[in-house]
Amino acid sequence: MRREIDGVLIEVVGGNITEQDTEAIVNAANTHLRMRSGVAGAIKVKGGEDIERDAISKSPLEMSDIMVTDVGTPRRLIIHAAVMGEDLKTDEEKVSLGTETNLIRAVEKNLSIISFPALGTGVGGFPLKAAVKAMLGTVIEYVRGHTDLTLVRFVLFDERNESMFRNVLFELGGGD
């Protein structure tokens, strides 16, 4: 499913975020940037231990802050979004702010295409529907008037998550 808002395409797809052809992928991280499981673990498996070593060398982050790594991924950046503390818990405000901060950083880095997972819903244990509404609502609000981005892709690893993103995107204004 996709929806265009002010020239920016918002797309929901199933798949593995580490295999996306976008300029940047987002990692749902904790403030110490340890990459043990979930999306972070998948990124580390795909790109190697150097990604985690580089990230940890730049930690800790403040909550909802982000950090960019480019080791282990010759074609794209990894934007680590600190949406969980050491307790690995998150909430709507952290998910929303983490989403917005990623969009801002992507524009600062002159990127036009970025891929997001569902932030905070795996290890963070945040309810899926609340996370989806926070993320999509933030993206839609941000892209209005910000035309530097051309594509914001949500990449979901299972049918349940993909379906929830599709349904909420439809509720927020439709799509094809």
pLDDT of residue 175: 54
pLDDT of residue 75: 64
DSSP state of 65: -
CA 137 to each of CA 9, 66, 100, 153, 158: distance values in angstroms, whole numbers, following the listed order: 14, 20, 10, 14, 21
Its pTM stands at: 0.92
pLDDT of residue 47: 87
pLDDT of residue 176: 53
Q: Is 63 exposed, middle or buried (0-12, 13-18, 19+ CB in 10 A)?
A: middle
Residue pair 168/132 in contact by the 8 Å Cβ criterion: yes
The residues near 108 (Cβ < 8 Å, ≥ 6 apart) are none
Minimal CA–CA distance to 81: which of 73, 90, 160?
Answer: 90
Digitized pLDDT (tens) for each residue of the chain, 176 residues in all: 999 998 999 999 999 999 998 999 999 888 999 898 888 899 999 889 999 999 999 999 988 888 898 887 766 899 999 998 888 889 999 999 999 999 999 999 999 999 999 999 988 889 999 999 999 999 999 998 777 899 999 999 999 999 999 999 999 865 55
DSSP state of 41: H
The token duo for 120 is: 């905070």
SS3 content of the chain, % helix, strand, coil (to 5): 40, 25, 40
Euclidean distance between CA atoms 98 and 139, whole angstroms: 11
pLDDT of residue 71: 80
Q: Please name each of the domains of the chain with its CATH number.
A: 2-171 (3.40.220.10)
Euclidean distance between CA atoms 94 and 49, whole angstroms: 27
